[in-house]
Amino acid sequence: MNILIICQTLTYYSGSSLYNYTLAMELKKQGHNVSVYSMWADNKIKENFLKKGIYTAYAIPEGSFDLVLISQPDYKDILDKISTKKIINIVHSEYDCETPITDKKIDEYIVIRPSIKQHLIDEHNIAENKIKVIYNGIDFERFSLSKRKINKKNYIKIVLPCTIDMLRMKFLNYYVNKANKNYRVFIYGKEYNNEFKTNEFVYVHDEVFDIENYIADADIVAGILLGRVNLEARAMGIISYIHNPENPSDYEIYYPKDKDFNDKHNIINSAKNIIK
């Protein structure tokens, strides 16, 4: 198939940006012709796309497409300028930045968890039969048990791969307050809040592409809601915590059974289900 992926930005290493990166790479691996329209940076995402022959542009690609997969509504106007057989809107969260495209041009909706499906029905009056739940896909070759490092440390290592923003501030402060010489916190992500305060047992680093190498010897990985960080940790055999962003002391441990996790979250399966 000739597939076009449209997303808001591929300038950072988290959330929907990594979703679209992982999906594009897998669709290419499965033999499809893939083009990606987005805002770009000269980073590992763009570099890896070019190596695999995935067309990258901040211009409307020429030709017609069998399928268009569009995430955020920012670039919905270009749908009028594209020849395609089918358009699917992928919705990644219930937040305003991920508002669904309620336009007759959209044939179907894909959401990454059931709660988003209910949100689209209740808040946007989208028919249930137009929405399909296909969970976040993870590259099991990249995030694998074989990369796990069991190092003896004299402290518990907590890894938080996330942006430092207001959405996560209560969650981040929860871990800052817990950090001590026996319980050390490692944060990897862009910093959008300059007022964020840490202590000597909290390590803050800019985002990294090869996050698997930084969580490989983690004792616990943590994030808010059910995000890619939880899935990546589970693929590497690491327990993770899912926190309520408004009340971080409310959390659950994430470590589903192998078969359930593989069926839902292996990118091979996710990509095939989207094509179906």
Residue 63's pLDDT is: 85
What are the residues whose beta carbons fall under 8 Å from the beta carbon of 87, sequence distance 6 or more? 67, 68, 70, 79, 105, 106, 107
Q: What is the dihedral of CA 136, 12, 100, 66, to 10 degrees?
A: -70
pTM summary value: 0.94
Tell me the domains of the chain and their CATH numbers.
Answer: 2-134 (3.40.50.2000), 145-262 (3.40.50.2000)
Residue 195's pLDDT is: 82
Q: Which amino acid is at 217?
A: D
Residue 72's pLDDT is: 95
User: pLDDT tens, position by position, for the chain (276 residues)?
Assistant: 999 999 999 999 999 999 999 999 999 999 999 999 999 999 999 999 999 999 887 888 888 999 999 999 999 999 999 999 999 999 999 988 899 999 889 999 999 999 999 999 999 999 999 999 999 999 999 999 999 998 788 999 999 999 999 989 999 999 999 999 999 999 999 888 778 999 999 999 999 999 999 999 999 999 998 999 999 999 999 999 999 999 999 999 999 999 999 999 999 999 999 999
